[in-house]
Amino acid sequence: MSMTMTQKILAARAGLPDVRAGQLIEAELDIMLGNDVTTPVAIHEFEKAGIPSLRDPDRAVFVLDHFTPNKDIKSAEHCKQIRVFARKHGVRNFFDVGRMGVEHAVLPEQGIVVPGDCVIGADSHTCTYGALGAFSTGVGSTDLAAGLATGKAWFKVPSAIQIVLTGAFQPNVSGKDLILHLIGRIGVDGALYRSLEFTGPGVRNITMDSRLAIANMAIECGAKNGIFPVDSVTLDYVRGRAKRDWRVFAADADAPYDEVIQIDLSALRPTVAFPHLPSNTRTVDELEAARERVAVDQVVIGSCTNGRIEDLRIVAELLRGKHVAEGVRCIVIPATQQIWLDALREGLLEVFMEAGAAVSTPTCGPCLGGHMGILAAGERAVATTNRNFVGRMGHPESEVYLASPAVAAQTALLGYIAQPQ
């Protein structure tokens, strides 16, 4: 029976020779992830059920990243609860202040997720790890509790959309532009409970940091997961990081797909998602042709989508020797401690500071309106984050425009959304 890449991973973890779309299976989990917002609920359910211990502490990962360093008493209490639980149950993959970072940047960087894994996380952007050739998807906190107790989870096997990529990005175009283009093309429910499987000769021209950004936003068009083939780019990234052996799965040549979407990477242009949906996209070319100037109050560069070292290098190249526009707050947030250190050693943080930007410790913070950049009524922000729903970064009368690091940097310099140069 022919299968997609996702279906092959699920069949292997379910101990079955094959699976088909719509089939209900119970699969063995390799990694179970929680953060400072979702883990307390999972702990409550776990303890309420009277479960004495975790099925396997080494498969549990807790990252304190949303309101950390703690912004108030409630977030401090949540993090304390997780610290106590992690210590009690011997969870070694526990990332706290001084070691923490944005969860979906930490796990790939630390080699915790490897190709062929089956991963759940009590966070919708757990789909990020498809960039490594793993099946990974977001679940609720009660599902996380069940996974911690049993090491397994139930899934309905998804059907798939094949995204065939050709060509290579033009300058100042990246994975963020590709995923915004795709979401704008098919809509926020265009891949509902389906797998986005990225294939084609263009894949080899996409860096791992861009692949992580693309897979990260698969959920924004309703996908169950997004996944890339394991190639030399993947293996170059994984070698030297992986904490475990990995398995490489590939779709059958005649794998069943609901539809096939062709995208020429060389035809893509810098793209922005206007409020209040990631699918409300327009290219910067279209803005300029209409002579439409969208002024902003704040620019946020970071998050689990675009806070990696490649992103920061792009931003530094555009900001070097220049200054952020008067009246614009520019906040740069490296996604992990290691990325922060790498940016420091490369002189990138100096570039940001001299350009008038603020540099933060790793945190999700402003992405979900948590802290470190909340918007007031009537304010606009361009962000390299992944969601721009009403009130996402603060006041319900504020606006968020999603863009790539290059567009965000140019916007910070000019004070309005502009073509990176």
Distance of alpha carbon 376 from the chain centroid? 25
Q: Could you give all domains of the chain from N- to C-terminal order, each with its CATH number?
A: 5-264 (3.30.499.10), 271-414 (3.30.499.10)
Res 124 pLDDT > 90: yes
Find out whether 92 and 57 touch, Cβ atoms under 8 Å: yes
pLDDT digits (tens, 9 = 90+) for 307-321: 999 999 999 999 999
| Residues contacting 354, CB < 8 A, separation 6+ | none
pLDDT value of position 243: 87
Distance of alpha carbon 176 from the chain centroid? 11
Residue 94: pLDDT band (50, 70, 90) is very high
pLDDT value of position 262: 97
Q: Is the peptide bond before 69 cis (omega within 30 degrees of 0)?
A: yes
Percent of the residues in the chain that have a pLDDT greater than 70, as a whole number: 100
Q: What is the mean pLDDT of the chain?
A: 96
Task: Compute the distance between CA of residue 67 and CA of residue 332 in angstroms, rounded to an integer.
Answer: 16
Res 111 pLDDT > 90: yes
Task: Compute the distance between CA of residue 284 and CA of residue 417 in angstroms, rounded to an integer.
Answer: 8
pLDDT digits (tens, 9 = 90+) for 28-81: 999 999 999 999 999 999 999 999 999 999 999 999 999 989 999 999 999 999
Res 331 pLDDT > 90: yes
Task: Compute the distance between CA of residue 124 and CA of residue 138 in angstroms, rounded to an integer.
Answer: 4
Backbone angles phi, psi at 330, to 5 degrees: -110, 120
pLDDT value of position 19: 97
DSSP strand pairing (152-156 vs 24-28):
antiparallel
Residue 1: pLDDT band (50, 70, 90) is confident
The count of C-alpha atoms lying within 13 angstroms of the C-alpha of 321, restricted to the half-sphere facing its C-beta, is 1
pLDDT digits (tens, 9 = 90+) for 144-203: 999 999 999 999 999 999 999 999 999 999 999 999 999 999 999 999 999 999 999 999
Residues in the chain: 421
Find out whether 65 and 100 touch, Cβ atoms under 8 Å: yes
DSSP letter assigned to residue 336: B
Residue 370 in tokens: 């948590």
Phi-psi region of 405 (alpha: psi -120 to 50; beta: other; left: phi over 0): alpha
Distance of alpha carbon 111 from the chain centroid? 16
Find out whether 100 and 399 touch, Cβ atoms under 8 Å: no
pLDDT value of position 217: 97
pLDDT value of position 179: 98
Residue 35 in tokens: 């953060």
Res 238 pLDDT > 90: yes
pLDDT value of position 364: 92
pLDDT digits (tens, 9 = 90+) for 194-230: 999 999 999 999 999 999 999 999 999 999 999 999 9
Alpha helices (runs of H) in 265-404, residue ranges in sequence order: 284-289, 303-306, 309-319, 337-345, 348-354
Res 361 pLDDT > 90: yes
Res 347 pLDDT > 90: yes
pLDDT value of position 100: 87
Q: Rg of the Cα trace of the chain?
A: 21
Task: Compute the distance between CA of residue 311 and CA of residue 315 in angstroms, rounded to an integer.
Answer: 6
Backbone angles phi, psi at 152, to 5 degrees: -135, 165
H/E stretch holding 106 reads: helix 103-109
Task: Compute the distance between CA of residue 39 and CA of residue 63 in angstroms, rounded to an integer.
Answer: 9
189: amino acid identity, one letter: D
DSSP calls for 82-105: HHHHHHHTT--EEE-TTT-B-HHH
pLDDT value of position 53: 93
State the burial class of residue 23 (Cβ atoms within 10 Å of its Cβ: 0-12, 13-18, 19+): middle
What does the pLDDT average to over 338-361? Answer: 97
Task: Compute the distance between CA of residue 192 and CA of residue 258 in angstroms, rounded to an integer.
Answer: 12
| Residues contacting 277, CB < 8 A, separation 6+ | 188, 388, 389
